Amino acid sequence: MYTPEEQKQLFERSKSFLDTKNPVRSLPVEEQVAHLRKLINYHEWRYYVKNDPVISDFEYDQLFKYLEALEGEHPDLITPDSPTQRVSDDLIEDFSKVAHLTPMLSLGNSYDADDLKEFDEQIKRLLNMDMEEDIEYVVEPKFDGGSIALVYENDALLRGATRGNGEKGDEITANTRVIRSVPLKAGFSRKGVHKVELRGEVLIHKDRFKEINKQRAAEDLPLFANARNTATGGLRMKDPKEVAQRGLEAFLYTLGYAVDKEGNDLIQQFETHAESIAFLGELGFKVPKDGDELKVCKNISEVVDFCLKWEERREAYPYEIDGMVVKVNNRVLQERVGYTSHHPRWAIAYKFKAKQATTKLLSVEYQVGKIGSITPVAKVAPTQLAGVTISSISLHNEDFITEKDLRLGDSVLIERAGDVIPYIVKAMDELRDGSEQPLEFPRQCPINDTEEAVDLVRVEGEAAWRCPTCVCGAQDLQRMIFHVSKPAMNIDGLGKSLVERFYELGWVRTMADLYRLDYDKIATLEGFGEKSAANLKKAINKAKQSPIYRLLHSLSIHHLGQKVSKLLAAEIEHVLDLREWELEDYTNIKDVGPKVAENVMLYFKNERNIDILKEMEALGVNMQQTEADRPLVADESAPLFGKTILFTGSLQQMSRKEAQSKAEAAGAKNISAVSSKLNILVVGEKAGSKLKKARELGTVEILTEAEFLDLLAS
């Protein structure tokens, strides 16, 4: 898409615009806007398509904000293809149906080498070829996400749509525009093409999916079951801003329709499928990489080998795939082989071994979370799936049960998303014999074991039913388990099973009890001893000195995650200062919304909570703001401002944590892995694979510990 010389020029021009005193900012506004759009499009291509950025996120944001400012001052210069116009402020009221320019057909399936060889023989029969002749095929991943069709006219993105029934789909243009790997403008006209329709798959990177679920867990929200549903659900959200937050990506795998201004078909100017995919890659679309993800095979034997190779590396691939797609490469041969009403005869899917199985739904048990959320858990007949025996599966909430129409005694289809999370795909209602019993979600707390019944509540707009008061202690136990966990107070050696054990012994009932344990008694427990008890005491005493943002996060206040905990900790001298705060005191802080503000305010108006906090303070738990709670302030003159940094090996002059704190104070952002996003790697003694990988990348600045300290002092 860009020659090396063009990329060099774009990089240098970016640096010019980032320099507020550079003469480039004195150019006529129209020229500045045109340059900035080109620069931002280039950097989005580097980041979202090539996964290889050449400027920091901060620098990209500065360019974007400058363009926004210019367009704000000169709204007459705003065009639909400007990068600032990706996200619409309008909510989608309803999805209208639109017809695809050509039908989006399904694929026939194959499951082993024999099926592929039979497919090859069928193609040869349809073409009247000798069975010993070779046919050239192209093989690419079968992405497991949500199918989309993109229409471009006069080089501009005109429309995005879901697959629907293959003939018509839902129009989702506003949501498509926020997918940053989808160009708003592409140069089809250089091939004489006026209107095109592309086919692709919308996915979520596996790491991004984990991040989303980690955030949802921190906010005590139901976890998404798998990346595929998260991607397809994202496509149909009614607020494009929320769609943008999911970080969807789009791989394009077919150029399905291409005409000039007179309507003449131009598809055949691309002699092969591989050639058309390469063309899309040149235009800036995210496509399977030639030779790695996509391979042109000279015969079916090479196809089989490539498919088997990919089945082995499937789990290491950063996106969910459930097979490979095999296509006759030559377009003329494709047309000669033709289509059925269901699928093209010249293509077939090679499906990887299934990660699904059927089992029996025997019963449902209920669990309570730290904020009282009641989660139903299906108990199923033990079933082997992807190497693991499955006997329990989360049913998430009442809506999930209703949507799946689950009944006790049902035969159910289950799968393991990413070979990790078991999930019920559907009930096999065709196998029902009438003995199955509907599942009724309880309206009173099923966990409560006291004589006092507690009615469950469900907040409007939320899926979870909650027990509003903990009279039996079950929620207190879950809060204690979270309190000691790594994201919260991080008490080493005090995990879930040990908290449960202490609870069963009657030693702990509230968080305060965790700080007055009798270590002599603990030393007498089976599996313990004096040394183990002493180590636990040391870990708990260390946790007492934690910064207050950790304490705030550990309290299990609904929606209060680590980020907002840090924002609050930076504003108070003492945790109990929050007793005096009102709603507006919270919402005046940037990024603190009304829901979390109300929840925190109510928590600190509750006298039982205050009494527990006072007990904890009396037992030595820190309630005062620490240095770690104060926001680090670094301006643009800071030596590492806007840089990403990583430390590896054994540092001699400071601890890893001290080094990271120094880097943050100097304006850097600490990251955890070597990637194209890393700017600086600081190496200590016995640096290993991270140093090797950084050298291979060739874009990472490598510093010794002494050079790092010299840089901070400069």
Confirm whether 692 is a catalytic residue.
no
What element of type H or E holds 388?
strand 388-394
Q: Which residues contact 208 (CB under 8 A, 6 or more apart)?
A: 246, 247
Q: Indicate the burial class of 184 (C-beta count within 10 angstroms; 0-12, 13-18, 19 or more).
A: buried
Q: How far apart are CA 195 and CA 411, in angstroms?
A: 48
Q: How far apart are CA 292 and CA 285, in angstroms?
A: 17
**Beta-carbon-side half-sphere exposure of residue 78 (alpha carbons within 13 Å):** 11
CB 10 within 8 A of CB 42: yes
Which is the catalytic residue, given 142, 286, 370, 566? 142
CB 33 within 8 A of CB 70: yes
CB 396 within 8 A of CB 422: no
Q: Indicate the burial class of 647 (C-beta count within 10 angstroms; 0-12, 13-18, 19 or more).
A: buried
Q: How far apart are CA 247 and CA 159, in angstroms?
A: 20
Q: How far apart are CA 519 and CA 533, in angstroms?
A: 6
Q: How far apart are CA 371 and CA 390, in angstroms?
A: 27
Residue keyed to tokens 């012994």: 505
User: What's the gap between Cα 687 and its chain centre?
Assistant: 30
Q: How far apart are CA 612 and CA 608, in angstroms?
A: 6
Six-digit token string for 42: 């280039």
Q: In sequence order, what are the beta bridge partners of 199?
A: 149, 254
Six-digit token string for 79: 């065009």
How far is residue 552 from each of residues 581, 588, 710, measured CA to CA in Å?
15, 19, 37
Q: Indicate the burial class of 339 (C-beta count within 10 angstroms; 0-12, 13-18, 19 or more).
A: middle
3-state DSSP of 44-69: HHHHHHCCCCCCCHHHHHHHHHHHHH
Centre a 10 Å sphere on the Cβ of residue 486 and count the other Cβ atoms it contains.
9
What pairing do the DSSP bridges indicate for beta strands 295-297 and 137-143?
A: antiparallel
CB 414 within 8 A of CB 393: yes
Residue keyed to tokens 């919304």: 593
Degrees to nearest 5, angle at CA 677 with 676 and 679: 100
Phi, psi of 275 (to 5 degrees): -65, -40
Residue type (1 letter), 370: K
CA 210, 213, 217, 219 torsion: positive or negative? positive
Helices (H) and strands (E) counted in the chain, each on its own, are 24, 22
Dump strand ranges (E) for 93-153: 97-99, 108-110, 137-143, 146-153
CB 221 within 8 A of CB 463: no
Residue (of 409, 469, 422, 464) closest to 441 by Cα position: 464
Residue (of 359, 327, 350) closest to 123 by Cα position: 327
Residue (of 191, 162, 156) closest to 175 by Cα position: 162
Q: How far apart are CA 181 and CA 482, in angstroms?
A: 38
- Helices 29-44 and 57-73, interaxial angle, to 10°? 150
What element of type H or E holds 161?
strand 156-162
Residue keyed to tokens 């540092």: 651
Catalytic residues: 142
